Amino acid sequence: MTRLHDLYTEQKQSIWLDFIGRDIIDDGTMSRLIEQGLRGVTSNPTIFDKAISGSALYDDTIAELVAAGADTFGIYDAVSQSDVAAAADMLRGLYDASDGGDGYVSIEVSPQLAYDTEATLAEARRIWASLARPNIMIKVPATAEGIPAIRQLIGDGINVNATLMFSLQDYDNVAFAYVDGLEDLVAQDGDPAHVASVASFFVSRIDGVVDGKLNDLGNTELQGKIAIANAKLAYARFEEVFSGPRWQALAAKGARYQRPLWASTSTKNPDYLDVLYVDNLIGPHTVNTLPQNTLEATLDHTVVACTIDQGVADARAQIGALAALGIDFNQVTSDLQSAGVKSFADSFRSLLDTIAQRAATLQPSS
């Protein structure tokens, strides 16, 4: 038994891997991590860009696709879906054993569509149908245009990972889009027991911005605390939303919690503990998705104890103190979401450029 097993059996928290690549699928790393208690995988354009640009393992596949006449996006689509499908198949046993509780692999709709509801819907439905596996989650950003797409996809019975959430308003928007979508599904005689969703709440990027503002003000007391405080308040909101008569009516029909998923949980500041955003965010019905180095640190020395519901009053006071210091936290979170969409869109363009360059070198000579 490992700490990942302990986190799940003792605290009902699932640890997912925030990385995917053919190398860790082929060399046994993924299998080893699953044996050690890994319960899911998340991906995004930045991850795929790193995987493909940093490895020659994709060259034969790219060459075959080039020979078949695939364009750059077609190559990306085939390669990314191939990796996601392979990981999902490796996790299918866990998905079945947990009755759909875990074993999911997330794949993101192109971030270039983040501000287009209808295009997001069409692409999400296409990817879902193409992968044709029950343990896939389609990642949709929690932008104003993404929220109605999330509701409609849940209403279609499609699993959704709602991503790029930074604020409590983002959380409310996503949670109620999920509840509304489930009610739409039930109204169409659909079975909510077969739908799963997570709400990906980004953590360390908050401290990355707020710590700088606090440093400029000479305030050290709140540095390294605001991201965790924000997540604790989101969890408190989760407990409120997923209780009461409205939720109980859906739960009686088999509906699952939309679990908060802590994303961006690697520690960027070297002065902070490497499992800062693990140890302080442990609690029932949550997921923490970790890059490989943070996952290995978690296996080695994370402290398994429920922490997510501790110090909530202090967390509220810490967030409230920002306004008194002249820091507009709502603006911070709004800017972070916009920056996150742009960053993923930039990574997606970089990924397509990488594939195009690789494809050009692998084209058969005439």
> d(Cα 253, Cα 275) in Å, to the nearest integer?
38
In terms of phi and psi (left: phi > 0; alpha: psi -120 to 50; beta: otherwise), the region of 289 is beta
339-351 burial, b for 16+ CB within 10 Å, e for fewer? ebbebbbebbeeb
The values of phi and psi at residue 13, to 5°, are -110, 135
232 in catalytic set: no
Which of 139, 213, 225, 232 is the catalytic position? 139
Nearest to 158 by CA among 128, 191, 130, 199: 128
Total residue count of the chain as it appears in this document? 366
| Spatial separation of the C-alpha atoms in residues 159 and 161, rounded to whole Å | 7
Question: Is the CB of residue 285 less than 8 Å from the CB of residue 256?
Answer: no
Evaluate whether 271 touches 209 at the Cβ level (below 8 Å): no
Which residues are catalytically annotated? 139
